[in-house]
Amino acid sequence: MPDQSTPVRSRPAAPAARHRALALLTAAAPALGAYAAVRAVGLVVLGVSARLAGKDPAHLLGGRWDSVWYQRIAEHGYGYTVTLPDGGVHSDLAFFPLLPALERGLATVTPLTLQGAGLTVAWLAGLLAAGGIFAVGAHLYGPRTGIVLAALWGAYPTAFVQSMAYTETLFTALAAWSLYAVLRDRWIAAGALCVLAGLTRPSAAALIAALALTAGTVLVRAWRAGHRRGLLRRNARMLLGVSLAPLGWLGYVVFVAVREGHPFAYFDVQAHWGNSIDGGRALAAFVTGLPFPAALGLCAALGLLGGLVLLCVRQRQPLPVLVYGIAVVVVSLIGSGYFGSRPRLMMPAFPLLLPPAVALTGLRTTFRTGAVVAALALGSAAYGAWTLLGPGPP
């Protein structure tokens, strides 16, 4: 009979956590390979097209538009503004701090330039995003669906932005892993990842809403079921995670308010960039101002988008996944900003790709699935090269 005075030593948690992480990485390897292959196609097509046009692919990916603003923040901090000919003012306070902080940190400890650091962060974050997307898809519909989902995200029409020194891959990685943590009931991890997402992009509001609405639904269902005693205590970790979730986004908004001496300064900064919320009026005006064939095509694209949202609802996706995907779409459509950026802004809404991923997984052979993904990758690569060789920002 064992000595009752001797304490029983539990198995260390760290080796078990490492084992789970290794198992997940091993399972995700095919998805990471598929995603990397799809993005490699995009880079090869861009490289060839850029050389034929006499342009530098690295400059196209990391030396224009928003990339330059992030690198300037990384080098000098905040405080740079541009005055437009019409008197408008564009301030770098419109850009959230996590990407430039990572660029500065990586450039400090490596020989990379800030541009090289930005591209490195974006590409590594793309792999992390693909891993998180796989994890969500595999958790819901099996590993094959997770692999196809990651590949489809890499073949998204504006997926060329995933290879640029932009925040899309970083934000999607944080959002995907946060959603996976919620699905695994790891609320504190989900909240912590949401904090980082809130330091990356303003669209973190969609992720915050997904976590908050999911938690609220859990509490309401428990209350209605009569499980009221100790309700808050039983859900303490969930409540802590939800409380953490908005701190990154709120922290940056408060930082701008204090710096500018006005409580709504951040929203004023965004308004100067033309990024205020107008409920979709700018979108409607843009559509009605197009020639009829172009307007018809855009309406068809918006109809396809609405169809995907409906399929996600009919698919009965878990509440946090469904709310996040729909909220990203809504936030992207109700703003008054530059219309050409809206497909890019919707790219983190990877749950929209779950219905086609499940459908492709159901094809009779893996070859057919791969052929469809390869065709989409080539189309995405061609569109990306055409866009990046053009004059306008994505």
**Residues 315-345: tens digit of each pLDDT:** 999 999 999 999 999 999 988 877 788 999 9
Are 336 and 275 within 8 A, CB to CB?
yes
Using the predicted structure, report yes or no on whether residue 60 has a pLDDT greater than 90. Answer: yes
Q: How far apart are CA 38 and CA 130, in angstroms?
A: 11
Q: How far apart are CA 101 and CA 167, in angstroms?
A: 12
pLDDT at 139: 97
Residue 13's CB: how many other CB atoms inside 10 A?
8
Are 336 and 281 within 8 A, CB to CB?
yes
Q: What is the mean pLDDT of residues 30-50?
A: 97
pLDDT band at 8 (very low <50, low <70, confident <90, very high): very low
Are 27 and 364 within 8 A, CB to CB?
no
pLDDT at 364: 82
Taking every pair of Cα atoms in the chain, the longest distance, rounded to a whole number of angstroms, is 87
Domain residue spans in the chain? Answer: 31-388
Per residue in 78-115, pLDDT (tens digit) is 999 999 888 888 999 999 999 999 999 999 999 999 99
Q: How far apart are CA 132 and CA 299, in angstroms?
A: 32
Using the predicted structure, report yes or no on whether residue 281 has a pLDDT greater than 80. Answer: yes
Using the predicted structure, report yes or no on whether residue 136 has a pLDDT greater than 80. Answer: yes
Q: What string of DSSP letters covers 12-56?
A: PHHHHHHHHHHHHHHHHHHHHHHHHHHHHHHHHHHHHHHHHTT--
Closest among 225, 160, 112 to 385, alpha carbons compared: 160
Q: What is the mean pLDDT of residues 232-254?
A: 97
Instruction: Compute, in degrees rounded to 10, the torsion defined by CA atoms 102, 106, 109, 110.
Output: -170
Per residue in 183-228, pLDDT (tens digit) is 999 999 999 999 999 999 999 999 999 999 999 999 999 999 888 8
pLDDT band at 12 (very low <50, low <70, confident <90, very high): low
